[in-house]
Chain A
Amino acid sequence: MTQTHDAPRGHWIGGHLVDEIASTKPRPGGAWLLGVLALVGLVDGVLAMIPGPASTPTPTRAELRRGLQAAADAPGRTIVVLGDRRLDAVELRRHVALDAPLSLHAIDLPELNPCAALALVRELDRVDPDGSVELAITLDLRDFSAGESGCSQSQTRDFSIDEPSATFSIVYDWLSEHTPVMRHRARLGLAEASRPNSTRTNSLAGELPGREHAQVEALDSLLTLLQAGDRRTTLILPPLGLARANPGQSESGRLHADLAGRIHDLGDPEITLVDLDHPVFLAEHFDALGELTDAGRELLAINLIFELGLPLDRRPFEWQMVHPEGHDRSLVHRVDQGFAEAGATTTRFASPEGVATSPSGDRIVIADTGNHMLRQLRGNLQTVERLAGDPEHADIVDGPARTSARLVAPRQPVLDGERVVFIDGLLAEHLRVVEHGEVHTLDWTGPRCRSMRTLRVRRGMILALCSDGGLLRIDPFGASSERLVRPQRGGYVALEVDDERVWLADADAKIWERRFRPDDTLGLPRLVFANRAMVRTPEGVPVAETLLPHGNRIGFPYHFDDIALAKIVDMRWVERYDSLLVMDEHPAKGLPAPTERVHLRLLDFEVERVLPWIKPQAHGEAYTLWNEQADLNASWYHVGSMALVERDASLVWLEHDRSRLIRIADGMLGVAQTANHHTRGVSIPHMTTLSGAVAQRANAVRPDRFLDRRWEPLPRSGPYVILQLGSSLSSMSDRFANYSLARQIERELQRELGYRDLIRVDLFAISSGAATFADNLRNFETWSQSSVPVDVVLIEAHDFASNWLRKTGEPAQIAGLFARLEALAERYDTLVIFYDNSQTEANRRDGLRSTDADVIAVLDQARGLGFTVVRPGDLLLQRLAVESPWGNQPYANNQHHGSTWALDRNAELVAALTYPVLREFLRGRTPARLRERDPTSFDQTPRGESLRTLLPGLAIDRTRLVAVAASHLQREYDSGLLRVHVDLAGYPKLARSEAELEKLAVAVVLTVLDDDVYAELARELEIEIVEFANYDEYGEGVVDSAKSLWRRRFDRASLDTFLTERAPKPR
């Protein structure tokens, strides 16, 4: 119908005729657009109703770009995980502690190879140019196989919008995201409806191909890109399961080692390679196509989160972890020997002789003698790489180290900056160097020796100890040598050097010191260790007893006159302790000789004292065991080589007969942390030689000074110090002698706090026989005078023969102990935890009995004072059904300590019960040791007498006091102030006048001072008399209805005045 000009211009709208609205007038262009939009919407809606895959498994380019942009825009710490193991951000986040401030993003592709990773990183660099977003990228070794040589277009797609060619891509991406057909292409079958199966081959290249391989070229570009920026990047080798799919066919690991070499050659600390291809991933963790199952992905996620330095939401089982929590690590651990490369459980060595480390400990070089190779670990020390040589070709050939150079029997490497100097040749006659990727054999004019034992480097000069006992100084640059010590029969066998001196050990295990003169020749020898205690059998064999004297009150620290050394095989100067660490190899009877026969002795020449060097163990005897068949004092250390990291004094130990390489922290600290108990009441062959005396001596040296420098594979806050004070119940198990509850608690807490909170704790302990509460306190006081300030003190309570409260049973005495404890704890705001260990005690009978009532009363009092108290007895009784007995037969005289499993379960439970408290307490805290003060500065602080001491001086007629209703008193105590709230509901007949309230206050004060547990501690008292307008259903006053009628705060002087003036006097 056509509208005439005179027709009314209006419409009925809502029952009213309204004027024509201009906007309602159809306009040809707008109508078309609306129509199109409506149609598009309709099509989109219809397409959305077509059943299809729940999600598009392969992200589009726009989705990828958006994902990276989201990460770049996220506030705070942000990590993007680029992978292809179907780990999405939700799955990963599920394993991160809930309260961790973190923005976690994941981009998961069907196959992420270096080409694709390179494209994604380029885009990330564009949107996050300052590198604030951290990266984790999986690298699949299969991508370097021969069949994987190309980078497809989809892999190399360039995300950059800075390039002209990208404009079309952006338009295309926009359309892909917004047009119906493209949006729903998966439903229409126009896109991959499911994730494509892997096209990767299941065999690995023998080695990393050259740059002609597109993926290698992309990898190099990726590494160059990463190195150019500041982005923290973790490259992850995910589990492949190849060996699991083909059991028995071991991979050589060369490809992995080559890749590690390529990455570590960058020398960029921001780029790390993490090896997660590990036996914790079992065949069952892969499906038929070689993809990780749900359980496998969960395992990968847990390990990935851990390696990224993030807190886990729960503590994993140890067997789930590729690398367990802790500052000491087994870097390589295979029981067999041979040749294999790369990982901790794949690498095999063959009779290695010598190990060296860089001063910072981020490089370890191994002389893999039997494999004719030098090998190395760098960075995070997770991969063993080739440094020089070939396992299948023994020869002396110079040239490129990893390819054509050949070694015969490399030994005793030393590092001089980046240079590695080592001995080679069947007779150890060659001196060779690896430098800038090349091996060359040194030649020089001047004295030589037929065979060399060991090397050191000083000021660029090589010191070579010859097998004939002579010592050469070789100038590798001037190609000349000089003899420092002439050869001699029965000459020197071990060498150590610092800037000023050399130490030379001879075949009789005597040690000589010679100082360098200004012209770098050596001064006269001075005998610094005479080995005077040595006694040999007629056959010339050292008597085992002299190598480790033991007996009642005999043990470390030994005087030089009291202990002998059998055979010195190596020495290292420990600068931080001005002492020499000596490897002493003990003889053994029979063949094959046990390998656990090397003892480490730290010699302090100034005081002529010998200390051990240990990692503290739960089994406190682990360093001094008796081997009856071999007539041997067995050790924790096996025959091998050692190196000491200059920066942190950590020990790198390489075994000769297994493929085992470990790194453990400062051994003096280890001694300081032990709490062994020296007692005759043991059933093992030796009385311990590592008693509390040596721990005390080590603590006097204060090895904790260096705690901040200790090697931590992953950063941890702290370390915080816990001091455990207890009796032999916390340190012994009768059939094994020393077995430490402290060590097991430390292990539990290190795992719990380490995995979940990224917190490191170190536990020191003191064990005294049948320790009383007072003994514990005295030990704490003594400790506080000279040892490391503590963040937490764990105090054992027990009821063995009523000892814990011996001579301190009176309430005032107990209160006095608490007062002293509180004063000590105040110094560094130390958290005090009491643990009831009565259940362990098994005197004449098995343990797990009820705690003595007096002990419980004191623990209740401790709880009331605000100390933490844990009493695990009842919870442990449940375990007795399976873990029995709790003690050790035969329950002979003095044998009343727990079995090893009882101590283990105790430790687990004490740690579990204290963990929540510790976690809250330690988070964000500055370690006490960083706030250390002169102990006397605390002692000079006036503390004042307790308020209770006022009472004897006051004359008061107590019969005239208002009767106090104890049920209407509420007390709070904190740091010397006792607050008492008085509810007037308990005094219905009392008038509310000031005078009456004062009378009540006097009565309350005296009642509190008479009988309150806090009275001995309180130095201030606050009394508040309140009246409530209403009460809850339990009869408790409702706080918001309280009205304060009378309130006073007293110190000792004002309280004295108040009571003198207001208390009723005797008539």
Chain B
Amino acid sequence: MPKKEENKTAFIGFWQGLLDDWMAVLTRPNIETYIRLKERATSPKIVLNIALLGLVIGLYVLTIQPPAFIQTDSLLLDLGRLIFYTEADFFILSLILFVIAGLLGGTGGFVEHSYLLSLITAPLGLVIVAFLFVANKLGLTLAAIMNPLSSIGITTIFIVLFGLYAFLLLLFALEAAHEMESHQVIYTIGAVLGSWGILRVIAMFAAGEDNIITQESAFLAEEWARGTLQQAILGHLWMVAFSVFIAVVIGVVMGVLITMPPKRPSVSHLFFLIPLGVFFLIWAAPKGWLGMGIADPIMEVSDTLDIGLTRAAKGFFGPLLSLLSAIVRKPAAVGMIGVILTVILYALLLAGESASELTLYIAGIILTIPSIALFGVFIGPFSIGAFNAVVALTLYAQLPILRNTYTGIKEVKPEIVEAGRGMGMTEFQLLRNVKIPIATPVIMAGVRVSVVMLVGIAAIASYIGNDTLGDYIFHGIQRVQPLRYYAGAITVAVFALSMDYFLGWLQNRLTPEGLKGRR
């Protein structure tokens, strides 16, 4: 074969190979394809791929928007400059991805990495340019194409699908180039986007842009400076913490009771008469049922405590003390709840396991009541304010804790319980030393769910006149101040997430060491 002929064949073979690689990338996106393509990576090919894209982009912008891009007299020079920019942009982006992938455990070389990226970027870029060119020729602006409500809104769907496809190809490329796990690839891309976002926000503030983010930040800063934000956060925190604390005590006791075998009434149960009597006294006396002789001292104690607590209600523990004072201010309501609770607990003690289904069912129903309705219902007996909120929130927090205590204890393997019992543990020792420690992770998971849920519901408690972050939401809606209700929503969300994180840590700490290595 003559030399010229040979050169020609090699030339055609080269372009054919390049085109094959493009087609392979687009039509057979899987790890095997990409790993195979990686073998053929060379630096000139990368430059060539991007140069082709740059050439088309250059031709496009120079024909569509000449005035913005023509800087020199020579068209060729301008074209060359645009190709160079495309190359530069590509290599900078590729380098950033490469560095981050390397930090996250990527092992691939820069050439393989860039080659795979260029194989994706070039054909997809060409498709985009072609798309824009056609749209332009049809007289459509970019805004019209992107608007899903316009007559050509259907194209938005294609654009979204196209973007997803590109993202998928990028995942494969990074995974193949660096032999990484999928989650590392996601972290890599996430890190790029995250750092871009942070830089963008910094730039936003540096440039003094006036948009929703800077406005919201200014609003939050202002509220913080006035001290109202801290007050709302503290109010929210103590509201949730106090309710969850009571819910944990009652929920765990009830959850334990409904795992026990039923009991016959015995003389020792007369002990229940003590709390029952005390609570009844507190309930009945202020109502005047027992005569003024008993009512007065109780009211007096209540008043003294209330005044003391209200006076002390300052600083970090301020909202907690206010809550307590709201509780002691209503001795009759406390007495009534105490009587009801004592009766329920005694009933559960007698019924034991046979009441488990009914109890969980009722607790489940309580959870389905909309929180606003429950607050509303309790306005009758408890009027508005912190007392009402605490009762309702405690009721809500009950279910996940109750249910998880029950399942956690039920899930303890029967042979473990039998071994304990056979070695002479009393039922109480079995509970304290075996069942509850083993159930702790499950119980804590319930507490975690309760807390996150309560953070949300406590915001609604501001509806019945309680100082929580919900104030921002309600006032914002009433006064049509978006900045105000965004502030409420953002702080509640951050609050819920950080509580969940904290409780996750606590759950891990409380899980017995021997249970950690398993499962």
Q: Answer whether A and B are interacting partners.
A: no
User: Interface of A with B (CB < 8 Å)?
Assistant: none
